[in-house]
Amino acid sequence: MASSDTPDQPVPQADTAIPLMERLAEQLGSRASVSAVFGEPVTSGGITVIPVAEVAFGFAGGAGPEAADTGTGGGGVGARPRGYIEIKDGTATYKPLRAPWVNFAVPLAALLAGTVIPPLVRRLAQRRPR
């Protein structure tokens, strides 16, 4: 095996990454709140609707080999609607939102199954020895 021409670099100490992680956690924490998942309630005609979303946060960071390097990092957030809470006559009900393709795919699959399966069963029954 050939030896490497680059000198061994010191492994970064764990305490160089701590300020980075604290900074990322602080920035992430300032954005994470109940309002990120539950939207502002809307009331009309005696019915209150509260939008509900799925929110995901992620972040990563790293520190370099130099003692003065406090590191860098980044992160992201994603959200998508999941449903709403309907409050009517003192009763709260969660109503999920279905994906738009479900409104098309489920009836189509039922139609195909209803037209393909009966002839297939008849054909298999005719082949069966008696």
Q: Which two tokens stand for residue 1?
A: 């095996």
Classify residue 100 as left (phi > 0), alpha (psi -120 to 50) or beta.
alpha
Q: What is the pLDDT of residues 53-72, one digit of tens each?
A: 888 777 776 666 665 666 67
Q: Other C-beta atoms within 10 Å of 97: how many?
A: 14
In the chain (130 residues long), the average pLDDT of successive 10-residue segments reads 54 58 70 72 92 80 64 74 91 88 84 90 82
Q: Which residues contact 59 (CB under 8 A, 6 or more apart)?
A: 24, 28, 73, 74, 75, 76
Q: Which residues contact 81 (CB under 8 A, 6 or more apart)?
A: 51, 52, 53, 97
- What is the rounded distance in angstroms from the CA atom of residue 112 to the CA atom of residue 105? 10
Supply the pTM of this predicted model: 0.48
**Strand pairing of 72-88 and 91-96?**
antiparallel
